[in-house]
Amino acid sequence: MPLSLSVSQKNKRSHMNPREAESIRSRALVALSNNRTPGYNFPGYFLDLRCTRYDTGGVVLEMDTGAHNANRDGTTHLAAVTCLADFALAQACRTFVDPAARTATMTLHLRYLGGEARGRLRAEAHSSGFSARTALAEADCFGRVLSEGREILRMSGTWAQPPAPEGRAMHPLPWARAEPAPPAPLLAPDELDAMERDAMRRVDRALRGAADGEFADRLWSPVVRKSGDRTLGRLPIGLHIGNRVGHVQGGFSISTALFTAIAAVPHHPLLTAASAWYISPGEGKNLSARSRVLQRGRNVAVVRTELLATGGKRVLEVISNHAVASRSP
């Protein structure tokens, strides 16, 4: 799956359409308002992830690509794709448990098939439910992502069913509710709490001076730099990448690691596969990624990336494969 990243794009800048910028601000305010209803999260509302099937036979989630989640060339931003993939797999095992139960990603494996993510994306996922083989029940989930009908990504992973954080009640997701939640009243900017104001500031900061196709990159891509033989990435933690428990949503954890890994091997620009092991929740002020190249060949590179939270707590370990594009027509 070719990735269009701001660090490698050479297109001429053009200012974002003011109407699109205002649409993104409105989308963010609606997402924050809906997020006041317990059970879902800001990224799900902001990306407008729509669940069109939800039963033990399978789950389908859909997402449209627009100014809020696109790259300059119109492809879908990597973080939006990994958020969709992780979320779809998680929903597949959730169909087997109580709607108020908590589930958590343990492993995630992605295989990019070469097509571009653009337009309407459809994620299909299925699971056989949780096994009683382990003390903490685990479920294997499998799926794929299609872009405008073409399969572009295959994915699988393992989910656990841990207890909810102490003192935090869990609530069903919108499509798992027995009765739909009433529409959330639209918040005025002066009604936002501290975390909500921080999310809106991040949206406004990403929009300020952004060219077409730069918003998602500014909001969700880590700031990356070289340090000796390592490549380092850093992304602030907040509602803009949070899940319903208050930790970083798993798709944004892996995308932060992958952006850093991609920057570590610029001469191997195609991300072809990645496997991630989720070790602890992403929480605190920032996610910090450290990528080290394990192998750099003529055509293929392998990168190991560690993702850390505030205080150096290990969140994620990722091994990714990167390749040189074919020269054949």
275-318 per-position pLDDT tens digit:
999 999 888 999 999 999 999 999 999 999 999 998 899 999 99
Identify which has the larger pLDDT, 327 or 83: 83
211/166 Cα distance (integer angstroms): 43
- Non-local (6+) Cβ contacts of 191 within 8 A are none
Query: Exposure of 166 by Cβ count < 10 A (0-12 exposed, 13-18 middle, 19+ buried)?
Result: exposed
Which band of pLDDT confidence, cut at 50, 70 and 90, is reported for residue 329? low
> Is it the case that residue 11 has pLDDT exceeding 60?
no
Pick the CATH number of 18-323 from 2.40.160.210, 2.60.40.2700, 2.130.10.10, 3.30.565.10: 2.40.160.210
Phi/psi class of residue 209: alpha, beta or left (left: φ > 0; alpha: ψ in -120 to 50)?
left
Q: What is the Cα–Cα distance from 289 to 307, expressed in whole angstroms?
A: 4
Domain ranges of the chain: 18-323
CA angle (58, 59, 65) in 5-degree steps: 145
Q: What is the pLDDT of residues 132-182, one digit of tens each?
A: 899 999 999 999 999 999 999 999 999 998 887 776 667 888 898 888 888
| CA–CA gap between residue 305 and residue 38 (Å, rounded) | 33
Residue 87 has pLDDT above 50, yes or no: yes
Residue 167's region, left for phi above 0, alpha for psi from -120 to 50, else beta, is: left
Structure tokens of 208? 């300020």
Gap between the Cα atoms of 203 and 180, Å rounded: 29
Phi, psi at residue 130, to the nearest 5°?
Answer: -85, 140
Give the confidence band of 237 by pLDDT, cuts at 50, 70, 90.
Answer: very high
Report yes or no: 83 and 123 within 8 Å, Cβ to Cβ: no
Distance (Å, whole) CA 263 – CA 117:
20
Cα-to-chain-centroid distance, residue 276: 13
Name the percent of the chain lying above pLDDT 70.
Answer: 94
